[in-house]
Structures are given as C-alpha cells and as structure tokens.
Amino acid sequence: MALDSEARPLRADAERNRRRLLDAAATVFAEHGLDASVSEIARRAGVGQGTVFRRFPSKERLIAAIIVDRLDELVAVGEAQLDAERPAEGLRALVLAGAQLQAKDRGFFEGIAGVGLEDEEVHARHHALLEITRALVQRAQEAGEIRDDVTAEDVVLLQGAICQGAAPLTEVDPDLWRRYMDLFFDALRPEGASTLSHPAPTPEQFNAAFEAKVRAAGKARAR
C-alpha cells in the first residue's frame, strides 16, 4: 500500500509542501490525538483541505506517513549506535529515543497501536526497527553488559511498558517515565540476575501477535 498518491519522485517544491503537511499533522496529532480534524491540519500547514487529500487520499494514509517518518527516525538512531563503544549505552540510546517519542507524541502512540498497523510500509519499518534492536541486544550481551536471557522482543515490549506505566500520572509528572527507564535498564544488568520464571516470546509469537492486531484494527474500522 503506497503512502500517498505520488508514485514518482517529488519535485523539490512538492516535497517541501509534503514535508510541511506531515510536520503540521504530526504536531496536531501529538497535541490532540488521532481524532484531530483534517481541517485543523490544513490550517496549521497553511493549505486547503483539498491539498491535503490530493497528497494523502485518506486520513489513514496521512497517519501512516507520519508513523513511517517516526520509525525511520528510530531506525536511524539504532543504526548510529551499532558501533557504540559501550554497546549497552547504544541500546539505551535507542530505547530512550523510542520512549521519548511515545511520551511526547500522543498521535504516534495511538497510530502505532491502531490504524498504522494496517499499512505495509509501517509494518516493514517496524520489522527493521526490531532487527536493529536485535543487533544492539546481541552486541550488549557479547560485551557482557546485559543479561543473556533478554531478547529484542522483550526490549520492544518493555519499552512500551515504560510509558504506559507512567501514563496515568502524565498530567502531574510528564517526566515520570524516565524513572521507569532507569529501573528497566537496571533490570537488564547481569549482576545479580535471577532465573526468569517464563520464557521470552519467540519471534513467531511476536509476529503472530502483531498480525492479530492488524486484523483486529481492520475489523474495528470496518464496523
């Protein structure tokens, strides 16, 4: 599924307009969630609603394009950490970037949990991010900096838990998630690690759960 109606490379001015639309939409969704109106996005971008829909035929395509941008940012952070002198700090940099994004960008958080899951490009970027996470986890384990029974799937799930755990107090303490970030990385240290009572989800289980969410999101939207 293409993210917008243009299959050919965009001219520089068209790309600037596209970028302005995406930036405006990301800001509006971050402030108001995915219920924000296209008219408000168009107003922020300084264009008419028709311009928005010519570039992105549906609100869902616009949301997917923003999510792809955000996931590309995270993949770039992860790639930059593949040669980090301290591998565990490289992994922490990626998890921190993801947690910061979720904490500040309500639209991204809602999108990745809902309509964005149905988009093929979002799915591909999500897979790329998981593979980068896997490489960083492996490097940190080989360096003896994190426990060897942790998987990339564990890290992805726990990163989400960092912000979800702090969410009820966001209005009174928007930086509370940082506390849980520290606790998470303390739990990854090999010193004093105890045997875990349950195995990590396998990649097959992780993918199956992801596909189930895609199907559920599709059914919900079809109602």
Contact between residue 149 and residue 188 where contact means Cβ atoms under 8 Å apart: no
Quote the percentage of the chain above a pLDDT of 90: 45
* Cβ neighbours around 68 below 10 Å, total: 19
Q: pTM to 2 decimals?
A: 0.83
Lowest mean pLDDT segment, chosen from 64-73, 114-123, 165-174, 176-185: 114-123
d(C-alpha 66, C-alpha 72), whole Å: 10
Write out pLDDT tens, residues 131-172. Answer: 999 999 999 999 999 999 999 999 999 998 898 888 889 889
Spell out the domains of the chain, with CATH numbers in brackets.
60-222 (1.10.357.10)
Question: What is the spatial distance between Cα 21 and Cα 2, in angstroms, rounded to a whole number?
Answer: 17
Between CA 116 and CA 223 the distance in angstroms is 17
